[in-house]
Amino acid sequence: MLVKIVTLAVLSVVAMAQGPGSFAGEYKNAEVSLQLAGSGDQYTGTLQYQGASLPVRARVRGNELEGTFRLETQEFAFRLKREGSAVVLTTDGTSYRLEDRPPRRPRPPKSKGWQAHGAMPRASCAFSRTARA
């Protein structure tokens, strides 16, 4: 039991020392989509809202990401904070909970029958035996 407690304590200290982790990824809900790329403390990306794609720039501040997105000539500040596997985007007093979207896996091609697998179709042949004399 003591070994488990010590192990948990060590893992917690290591996790805190490593920082909040990367914010790179794609986050989404029904209204907002956020794509972020970067590493270390600087990130760039795109915020999609009501059909508009808005450029994003942000920096890590403690356990959060702080930055701006641009709509035409205006810049708007935002904060991004982790909540489990999701993030909460807050801007101008409004918060949006965005779920972490896993990377898309390529779909396998649709089968075209035997041609997709390289197999030959079965041919039905009727053989007849002839009697040998």
pLDDT digit string, tens, across residues 21-39? 789 999 999 999 999 999 8
Q: Is residue 110 one of the residues assigned to a domain?
A: no
The domain spanning residue 42 has which CATH number? 2.40.128
What's the gap between Cα 91 and its chain centre?
22
Quick check: 113 pLDDT over 70? no
Q: Considering only CA atoms, which of 102, 84, 94 is closest in space to residue 27?
A: 102
| 31 falls within a domain | yes
Q: Is residue 118 part of a domain?
A: no
Q: Which domain holds residue 95?
A: 23-103
61/39 Cα distance (integer angstroms)? 13
pLDDT tens, residue by residue, 51-91? 999 999 999 999 999 999 999 999 999 999 999 889 999 99
Contact 67, 78 (CB under 8 A): yes
Quick check: is 32 in a domain? yes
62 domain residue, yes or no = yes
Residue 126 scores a pLDDT above 80:
no
pTM given for the model = 0.61
99, part of any domain: yes
Number of domains the chain contains: 1
In a domain, 37, yes or no: yes
Cα 8 to the center of its chain, rounded Å: 28
- Asked whether residue 73 is domain-assigned, the answer is yes
